[in-house]
Amino acid sequence: MNKILSLLCGIIFGIGLVISEMINPEKVLGFLNIFRNWDPSLAFVMIGALIVSTPIFHLFKNKNKPVFSSNFSIPTNKELDKKLIIGSIFFGVGWGLIGLCPGPAITSIALLNTSSAIFVVSMFTGFYIASKVN
């Protein structure tokens, strides 16, 4: 059952990225272009997501177990370390250069866009390198 659910959640997430146009790098770069011509849409995407996910998380986090799995798996790391900051800086530069982050990049494979496919292959290489460094 949780297999079907994983697929379904991916589909809902992907459709959300398409409807909100976050799949389009120009829309993301428009949000980051705050000092010139600013497109605030990305902030509304985050607000829309958070008003659903925040109350649901806090309502269910203390339940015994999720419906189709044996236990909840919630990140426990609370340390504000160098990796968090350096990683976020790397991500911010890459994000600002093209306007793609992991979700929209992978979703855009559906559009058979050569540029985004190159980005995705390089991103997975980055995942692999980070797994060796960590």
Partner 1 sequence: MNIVNFTPVTALTGGLLIGLSVALFFILNGRMIGISGIASNFLISKDNRIDNFLFLVGLILGPFIYNLISGKEINISISNSLILLITAGAMVGFGTRLSSGCTSGHGISGISRFSLRSIIATITFMLVGILTVLITGIL
* 131 binds partner 1, rule: CB under 8 A: yes
CB of 106 to partner 1, least distance (A): 5
CB 22 within 8 Å of CB 42:
yes
Provide the token pair at 108. 């855009």
Q: For partner 1, what does the binding mask look like between residues 21 and 60, x meaning CB under 8 A?
A: xxxxxxx-xx-xxxxxxxxxxxxxxxxxxxxxxx-xx--x
CB of 132 to partner 1, least distance (A): 9
Cα-based distances in Å from 103 to 28, 68, 71: 12, 24, 25
CB of 7 to partner 1, least distance (A): 4
Q: What is the torsional sign of CA 52, 80, 106, 33?
A: positive
Q: For partner 1, what does the binding mask look like between residues 95 and 124, x meaning CB under 8 A?
A: xxxxxxxxx-xxxxxxx-x-xx-xxxxxxx
* 64 binds partner 1, rule: CB under 8 A: no
Binding footprint of partner 1, residue count (CB under 8 A): 116
Return the number of other C-beta atoms located less than 10 Å from residue 103's C-beta: 14
